Amino acid sequence: MAITISVESARLRRMRGIALRLLAGAVGTAVLLDLPFPIAGPLPMWRTVFAWIALVPLVVRVVRLVNGPDCLKAWPLWVLGAGWLSGALWFGLNCYWVYDTMHNYGGMGPVMAGVCLVLFSVYLGFWFGLFTLALGMVSRATKLRGASENWLLGLIPVLWVGMEFAVARIPSFPWDELGYSQIDNALLTRLAPWTGVMGISFALAAGNALLAGGFFLTSRRGRRWSAAAGLCAGLLGMGGFLLRAPRPMAEATAMLVQPNLNVNADDVWVGAQWDAHLAEFARLAGEECGKSFLTGMPETGATEAKTSCGVSETSKALGMPAADVPAPALVAWPESAAPFREPDPRFQEGMGKIARAEQSPMIVGNVGMEVGRGEDGLAQYRIYNSASVIAANGSFVGRYDKIHLVPFGEYVPARQLLFFAHQLTQQLTDLNGGAERKVFRLRSANGAAHHYGIFICYESVFGDEVRQFVELGAETLVNISDDGWYGDTSAPWEHLNMARMRAIENHRWLLRDTNSGVTASIDPNGVVRQSIERHRVDVLPAQFGYETRLTWYTVHGDVLGMICAILAVVFALWATRALLWRRSVEGSV
């Protein structure tokens, strides 16, 4: 009896030790992975270094467990659980703004909002679990087959990027992929026009793998070389922050209006309110002369500058009259709470007047509507989150309807299955998704015509979708968004950085017009050239240019991610076969 109790105690201590080590690795990776992303403001450069070491704790613990003397028969469940926990913790930390949005703007109580955040994090964290499960299986199979463990170092980034690709395609939430942490790294971002953001993720995961090899490789010489290579890769990669990206010349100006409307209260304008708001819109659209702006991102110490008023110092000295300020090439109004409905005659008349007054084409966020007939003969309305496009003569020339809608924000997936969540499903009206990506040819007052691609809010996180606007001929990208739903959380800054990556991937100027900030002009190298302060009514005289060259990524998309996903599946199947073969051999002995 005493011997049995002693064995039981030893087994429990062993399992407790394994659990604590895996827990430390899971929590360590979750915390380190959160640090190289914005938390409540712009990302300080020094925190980006954590992207080079964030995966090490979890990877080391998984590989050591499956190949060590303490390996349990149920190790697949242990490593799956460790990765799942790490992913859930990371999504909870990185996307904590889900709680704020649901509670402060979605009308949910604190408990229901908290439940939403937990369910959201647990669901997405599962994909981290698949990463660690595949890693554990391949690592175990490699040892059982007697293969060199060094090639595992090259497989880790393949598995990681394969997981990112799967998250982008299946749950369709590619938020803050690892590569976004290096948005200001002028060296690593050179990969983006070829591979998209996933190429940067691959480089970072490879650096993490080399450092992790310094802990789990069996050869002392191999550990030293691996750690040294990982350290060199990190130092070289971080050196990219010392480089300065080229500054392409701007050739036009767009007036990006930031109305700063209250997302909960400004969706109805009664009587004189309508006229007052439209008058404010018209005033801001025509306020280019002498307008101040920031020469970088808000809250980063960027200096303030002002637009010129069309007269040089020489002209002033000669007493010559000031030249007229040329009409802007574009006027934009963002996605916002404004009660703009495309069929509303007041809306069409008001927008037409502003376009004619400014002699400029316009892009205006609004609600698009179509009326059809149902099978019962009654009228049915299809409602879209849209951007109306208006020519300089005031005529409406087209409309882009948002294709990729926000789940639980613009529609409720599986609404019938969520019948129990009355507080959520009854408050949301499902919008319809658009069916076609469009590029609009707009002519400015000087007679020049250029092609613009428009995408709305959440669509900016999908690189493989945004590139299609450029492939269709867009010379400039326009992103309208209402980040007022996020408040003062990390989300507006994360959203901005992901939009910046779209500019780099496609080598296009990006005009980003938001309701409450960050409204900015972003050059083809992802640099925020101009912006205005958040949370105030203002307009940005955004200087920008036109590009026609297509990048490799624009033409081919996420080829790297697809290759990594296919390889991850192939190696997971190989490992499964090897492990099953080993089990059959052991069972026959």
Instruction: Look at residue 2 and tell me whether its pLDDT is greater than 90.
Output: no
Q: Which H or E run includes 476? A: strand 476-481
Please check whether residue 405 is in contact with residue 455, taking contact to mean a CB–CB distance below 8 angstroms.
no
- Smallest CA-to-CA distance from 338 within 267, 400, 425, 429 is with 267
Distance CA 385, CA 365 (A): 8
- According to the model, what pLDDT value does residue 554 have? 98
Q: b/e string for 494-529 if b means 16 or more Cβ within 10 A?
A: bbbbbbbbbbbbbbbbbbbbbbbbbbbbbbbbbbbb
Instruction: Look at residue 527 and tell me whether its pLDDT is greater than 70.
Output: yes
Q: How many CB atoms lie under 10 A from the CB of residue 21?
A: 18
- What are the structure tokens assigned to 531, written together? 């912006």
Distance CA 175, CA 458 (A): 10
Task: Give the model confidence (pLDDT) of 250-263 as tens digits.
Answer: 999 999 999 999 88
Q: Respond yes or no on whether the N-terminal peptide bond of residue 518 is cis (omega within 30° of 0).
A: yes
Question: C-alpha angle 297/183/546, rounded to 5°?
Answer: 75
In sequence order, what are the residues at sequence separation of 6 or more whose Cβ sits closer than 8 angstroms to the Cβ of residue 313? none
Please give the average per-residue pLDDT across 476-499, as a whole number: 93
- The β-bridge relationship of strands 330-333 and 252-258 is parallel
- What are the structure tokens assigned to 43, written together? 């990302």
Confidence class for position 15, pLDDT limits 50, 70, 90 = confident
Task: Give the model confidence (pLDDT) of 384-410 as tens digits.
Answer: 999 999 999 999 999 999 998 887 666
Alpha helices for 75-109 (secondary structure H): 75-94, 97-100
Confidence class for position 432, pLDDT limits 50, 70, 90 = confident
Highest mean pLDDT among 109-113, 134-138, 316-320, 406-410: 134-138
Q: How many CB atoms lie under 10 A from the CB of residue 195?
A: 22
Highest mean pLDDT among 3-7, 148-152, 167-171: 167-171
Please check whether residue 216 is in contact with residue 86, taking contact to mean a CB–CB distance below 8 angstroms.
no
Topology of domain 252-299+326-544 in CATH is: Nitrilase/N-carbamoyl-D-aminoacid amidohydrolase (3.60.110)
Please check whether residue 119 is in contact with residue 88, taking contact to mean a CB–CB distance below 8 angstroms.
no
Q: Which residues pair with 333 in a beta bridge?
A: 364
Q: b/e string for 168-183 if b means 16 or more Cβ within 10 A?
A: beeeebbbbbbbbbbb
Please give the average per-residue pLDDT across 148-168, as a whole number: 92
Alpha helices for 68-196 (secondary structure H): 75-94, 97-100, 110-145, 151-169, 192-195
- 321: helix, strand or coil: coil
- According to the model, what pLDDT value does residue 391 have? 95
Instruction: Look at residue 589 and tell me whether its pLDDT is greater than 50.
Output: no
Q: Calculate the average pLDDT of the chain.
A: 87
Please check whether residue 107 is in contact with residue 424, taking contact to mean a CB–CB distance below 8 angstroms.
no
- What are the structure tokens assigned to 375, written together? 């099978």
Distance CA 38, CA 563 (A): 30
Please check whether residue 86 is in contact with residue 23, taking contact to mean a CB–CB distance below 8 angstroms.
no
The separation between CA 294 and the C-alpha centre of its own chain, rounded to angstroms, equals 23
- 542: helix, strand or coil: strand
Q: Which H or E run includes 211? A: helix 197-216
The overall longest dimension of the chain from CA atoms, in Å, is 107
> What does each C-alpha distance from 109 to 118, 303, 416, 475 come to in angstroms?
14, 41, 22, 45
Q: What share of the chain is helix, strand, coil (3-state, %, to 5)?
A: 50, 15, 35
Q: b/e string for 268-285 if b means 16 or more Cβ within 10 A?
A: ebeeeebeebbeebbebb
491 φ/ψ angles, rounded to the nearest 5 degrees: -60, -45
- Range in 49-63, 176-190, 366-380, 492-506 the model is least confident about: 366-380
- According to the model, what pLDDT value does residue 319 have? 44
- The β-bridge relationship of strands 449-456 and 476-481 is parallel
- Smallest CA-to-CA distance from 75 within 166, 136, 118 is with 136
Q: Which residue has the tokens 């050591």?
A: 64
Instruction: Look at residue 264 and tell me whether its pLDDT is greater than 90.
Output: no
- Range in 61-75, 142-156, 302-316 the model is least confident about: 302-316
Distance CA 52, CA 464 (A): 25
Task: Give the model confidence (pLDDT) of 298-312 as tens digits.
Answer: 999 999 998 876 544
Task: Give the model confidence (pLDDT) of 317-339 as tens digits.
Answer: 434 344 455 788 999 999 988 88
Q: What's the first-to-final CA gap in the chain, in angstroms?
A: 31
Identity (one letter) of the amino acid at 223? Answer: R
For the chain, give every domain's residue range.
2-244+558-576, 252-299+326-544
